[in-house]
Amino acid sequence: MHLTKPASSRSRSRSRIAYKFERPSNINSNNSNTGKMAAEARTISQPGHIRDQRKVMPHILLLAIAVVSLQFESVSAQSMMTKNEPMFISRSETFKFITGETIVLPCEVANTDTYVVAWKRGIAILTAGSVKVTPDPRVRLVNGFNLQIRDALPTDAGDYICQIATMDPREITHTVEILVPPRIHHISTGGHLQVKKGSSVRIECSATGNPMPNVTWSRKNNILPNGEEKLHSHVLSIENVDRHKGGVYICTANNRVGQPASSQVVLHVLFSPEISVERPVVFSGEGREATLVCIVHGETQPEVIWFKDTMQLDTTERHIMETRGSRHTLIIRKVHPQDFGNYSCVAENQLGKARKTLQLSGKPNVAVFNSPPISQYKDRYNISWAVDSHTPIEEYKLSFRKLPQGHEVVGNAIDSPSSSSSLSSLSSSSSSSSSQMYGSGSGLHAHRIGSNMGGLSGSGSYSGYGNVIHWGHNDWRDVVLPAVPVSHHYVQGMSYMVRGLDPDQHYEATVQSRNRYGWSDLTNSFVFSTSSNDGPVDLSTFLNHGLSDNEMRDLSVTFYGSSAINRQKLGLLALSSATLALSLLVA
């Protein structure tokens, strides 16, 4: 028996485990390997076979070594198969960081004791094992193989690879996005812009950031010229510029990263002076102080000069001129009668000149009605008013009429196209009619019938004492009332009982006041109404039953000042019976 070695090269590479027995020809092929070995042992143990035994022993030893080696390699291979391989615990992710923040990219691994873990960015190696390769001082490893980058920059955006250096490299990839707060890097005007009135303006505002910021325009302490609070555009356009469109405009960029960025543009509009007056008519009195104010705007700042009629005024003890911003003031102390009249302020700059006129008046202010709009009576109404005057009021003129059909009452005013024209005609005729009444200087208290009753004919009719006067629907009735007694208070006034009215009707009234310097302007139309309920006996009832002179004494006119009320009943006993009846109907 001997061992043979296969001839193939593959078998030679595994010679330690490929040896086999080649049995002798005199051994039966059906015997088991155990029988074979026993037979050989018996053969070897026989005395005549000692020489053969010496030849066989090396082969048996070689066979034993091959079996042991085979078992060892099998155990070693099994151990290698069961040993854990290197692996990643972290997974590939996308991270977002704001510039200036610290970037930390995780790379947690297991079973890498005999392997090198490296960080790469593109072809550049950042770290290998625990050794930092990149020269960037912001980069280092923390908590194992986590990569840290301090003070993030926009250029740090990109892909970062953590790799385990096996025969077939294993790796994960992190994507870094750097968020950049907004920044305004360009404004076309450079922050200041001067244009002439009437010009067009276009301002551009450019901003950068990641993500790209939204750009809006607003105006400091004001709305934009288009009426909006904000404009979502990087371009601001303003057409037909005037002084009202000047100011500070703000460009704001916002991408919700960090704080919004903003930049201001100051728009200066160059224009000739523009003047407005605080009060076109200033009321005052002798010995008092008067203040006239002009509001002057202009770029560049205009020079302002004051005039009385055509004479330029200089600063004196009584004439003081002050300037505070755009407010130019002329103060007249201890007003003299000759101070009343027309004044003007003249403003001039390099682009032009402007003038505005004011009036210093000693006349009364416009009166204000203060009686309730609805009467408690159906046939009469107690109307009252107050007026401001630095000089005592000498007389009043009250005008009233029934409200024509088609006029709508809104509050205490009249909504009608013809109402203003009718008041204008009333105002134009008031001066002449009153002058006719008082031209003789009569001190009598008179009730005057308006021109519509001229000659007691036309739309009205009169048939004697005890008969009712019928008025046309549009007829104004005028009552001129002397201010008796004279009041020296600043606030003066009067109340008057208007009689002979129709029940449940609307009436309108106006009043003027006169002092030594002239008549005031007409008041706005005041609307009052009579009641529909039964009230005291009406005027016709008294006329039908006949009234004695003594019964007429209760008709009264009330005068009052600002601090005391003085009542005086005006006796009508001096009037004739016909005049008395006519006065009652008119009133």
pLDDT of residue 454: 32
Mean pLDDT of 383-404: 93
Q: What percent of the chain has pLDDT over 70?
A: 65
Strand pairing of 327-332 and 557-560? unpaired
Structure tokens at 143: 């908590």
pLDDT of residue 338: 94
pLDDT of residue 486: 76
Model confidence pLDDT, tens digit, residues 403-417: 887 666 555 555 554
Query: 543-555 as b/e, with b when 16 or more CB fall inside 10 Å?
Result: beeebeeeebeeb
- Of 569 and 396, the structure prediction assigns the larger pLDDT to 396
CA-based Rg of the chain, rounded to a whole angstrom? 58
Q: What DSSP string describes 233-271?
A: SSEEEE-S--GGG-EEEEEEEE-SSSSPEEEEEEEEEEE
Return d(Cα 199, Cα 351) in angstroms, integer.
Answer: 15
Q: Is the pLDDT of residue 422 over 90?
A: no
Q: What percent of the chain has pLDDT over 90?
A: 58
219 neighbors 250 (Cβ within 8 angstroms): yes
**How would residue 77 be classed by pLDDT, with cut points 50, 70 and 90?**
very low
Least confident of 376-385, 429-438, 452-461: 452-461
In a 10 Å sphere around its CB, with 0-12 CB exposed, 13-18 middle and 19+ buried, how is residue 28 labelled?
Answer: exposed
Q: Is the pLDDT of residue 438 over 60?
A: no
Q: Is the pLDDT of residue 255 over 90?
A: yes
pLDDT of residue 385: 95
* φ and ψ at residue 339, rounded to 5 degrees: -75, -20
Model confidence pLDDT, tens digit, residues 208-237: 999 999 999 999 999 999 999 999 999 999
- Length of the chain, please? 587
Q: Is the pLDDT of residue 433 over 70?
A: no
Model confidence pLDDT, tens digit, residues 520-550: 999 999 999 999 875 554 444 334 434 333 3
Q: Is the pLDDT of residue 80 over 70?
A: no
Return d(Cα 485, Cα 68) in angstroms, integer.
Answer: 149
CB atoms within 10 A of CB 159: 13
Least confident of 21-25, 73-77, 316-320: 21-25
pLDDT of residue 25: 42
What is the value of pTM for the model shown? 0.54
* φ and ψ at residue 580, rounded to 5 degrees: -65, -45
